[in-house]
A = this chain, B = another copy of it.
């Protein structure tokens, strides 16, 4: 079960489809193996990049269950929904199937501090006594939470054990939350960072516990987290910077998932890079750009012997 000591890399898993839109179980298995072998500490399924709203309820449960069984890693399941009934049902089903916890994003109509805190109080009631994660992603969700609001949510809800941090800019937020813990006003809380990893280098230095993102080279995320925790600052940045051109490319809104699935297909993890509708597809030029970035990455890799050496 997820707890405030969770750390390392939780891969945000895409949902693999066949070209015709059916769920691709074989790719789910390969992907689960891939994440474990890459050194990930956990997997998050049915997140925003998991195309969760495009799945039928029973499909959602099936995907989560398959990843849980195959990966043998702690699995966090995104249960965000416009209504609490669906949230409750999905939570029960995936916890029964062995999930480690669930992740809850706020609905985009929330504006004031009290509205946000009130929403999480109701959501916590809905999911029951299950460890859960706050998703703080203003760029996509249009909900802005101050550090003080996050503190209120955490202190109000004992089952809240983790923050998926993807505010942008967000470095000062990590510092503020860690400051709250130092002054005793906030209890322990795991902070894993999203945003495609775009600021992971500095997020680790600000006190994050790791990454929760789906960048297509999770092994790099694992190494950056490790190097950073070991105090090898320059080595962490060297490795990170080598990947930054691709991280940046993958971080483009709307087409980011296409890039990610395309690379995972090229790497032999997914059989298809198809998305369910409404989705996006890469143009031939965009694919060639990704290919070029991969080629540059691999040349750099050769030069360096091993990337994270």
Copies of the protein in its oligomer:
4
Q: Are B245 and A248 in contact (CB-based, < 8 A)?
A: no
Q: Are B83 and A253 in contact (CB-based, < 8 A)?
A: no
Q: Are A278 and B113 in contact (CB-based, < 8 A)?
A: no
Contacts of A199 in B (CB 8 A): 248
Does residue A252 face the partner (Cβ distance < 8 Å to B)?
yes
A207 CB, min distance to chain B CBs, angstroms: 11
Q: Are B283 and A54 in contact (CB-based, < 8 A)?
A: no
Closest to A206 in B: B285
Assuming the contacts A111-B144, A169-B255, A237-B245, asked whether A84 and B175 have C-beta atoms less than 8 A apart, the reply is no
Q: Are B81 and A283 in contact (CB-based, < 8 A)?
A: no
Contacts of A296 in B (CB 8 A): 234, 237, 241
Q: Are B244 and A86 in contact (CB-based, < 8 A)?
A: no
Q: How many Å lie between the Cα of A114 and that of B278 in the bound state? A: 14
Q: How many Å lie between the Cα of A92 and that of B70 in the bound state? A: 34
Q: How many Å lie between the Cα of A86 and that of B58 in the bound state? A: 11
Q: Within A4-50, which residues are at the interface with B (CB < 8 Å)?
A: none
Does residue A82 face the partner (Cβ distance < 8 Å to B)?
yes
Q: Are A248 and B111 in contact (CB-based, < 8 A)?
A: no
Q: How many Å lie between the Cα of A246 and that of B168 in the bound state? A: 15
Q: How many Å lie between the Cα of A224 and that of B240 in the bound state? A: 22
Q: How many Å lie between the Cα of A125 and that of B245 in the bound state? A: 38
Contacts of A253 in B (CB 8 A): 168-169
Does residue A55 face the partner (Cβ distance < 8 Å to B)?
yes
Assuming the contacts A56-B85, A237-B245, A248-B248, asked whether A283 and B146 have C-beta atoms less than 8 A apart, the reply is no
What are 13 contact pairs spanning A and B, CB under 8 A? Answer: A51-B83, A56-B57, A59-B85, A107-B278, A111-B111, A111-B144, A114-B146, A168-B252, A172-B286, A202-B289, A206-B285, A241-B241, A241-B244
